[in-house]
Amino acid sequence: MKPIVSIIMGSTSDLPVMEKAAKFFDEMEVPFEINALSAHRTPEAVEQFAKNAQNRGIKVIIAAAGMAAHLPGVIASMTTLPVIGVPIKASLDGMDALLAIVQMPPGIPVATVGINGSLNAAILALQMIATGDEAISQKLAAYKEDLKKKITQANEELAEIKFKFKTN
């Protein structure tokens, strides 16, 4: 089974955040890979990864990084694959990473989700892939329908809570 999504982290300390993406791919039964590569400490490995990802069958790359957060942009500069950046809250409440990832120069786009937003990155990656994959499209539709059911159920449970001045 070959991976179609790659999760790249600047450090294994990012794993607690990126685990949400990995669990989502498992839930959706989508093959993925997960690696730690640093734009600053292992630049040659990042270059080799980025330049070979498409030939290995990768369709979308999710790149997570904190602080200076160069990893997503460096990867995007070396591939035509879509890159989704996940800013990691490491310092300055993650705002430094968010701004570093979202403010890419013209020609090097990185789709960027919210700080520590790996689940949204995973969903976005599958939405991109689903444009050409009906099975993944159906899995996403079922996932979103389940989200709707959870909110409906939560609202029904909320209606049962009693307060003296509550009107609904």
Each residue's pLDDT tens digit, 42-101: 999 999 999 999 999 999 999 999 998 999 999 999 999 999 999 999 999 999 999 999
Query: Sign (positive/negative) of CA torsion 78, 56, 98, 40?
Result: negative
Q: Across residues 114-136, what is the average pLDDT?
A: 98
pLDDT at position 124, please?
98
Range with the poorest average pLDDT among 22-31, 111-120, 157-166 = 157-166
Across 47-84, b (16+ Cβ under 10 Å) vs e yields bebbeebeeeebbbbbbbbbbebbbbbbbbbbbebbbb
Task: Categorize the per-residue pLDDT at 138 as very low, low, confident or very high, splitting at 50, 70 and 90.
Answer: very high
Percent of the chain at pLDDT above 90? 96
- Check if the beta carbon of residue 81 is closer than 8 Å to that of residue 8: no
Task: Categorize the per-residue pLDDT at 33 as very low, low, confident or very high, splitting at 50, 70 and 90.
Answer: very high
Percent of the chain at pLDDT above 70? 100
pLDDT at position 146, please?
97
Q: Across residues 158-164, what is the average pLDDT?
A: 93
Tokens of 147: 């989200």
Place of tokens 């999760």: 7
Beta pairing class for 83-88 and 5-9:
unpaired
Q: Which residues contact 150 (CB under 8 A, 6 or more apart)?
A: none
Q: Does position 168 have pLDDT exceeding 90, yes or no?
A: no
- Check if the beta carbon of residue 69 is closer than 8 Å to that of residue 85: yes
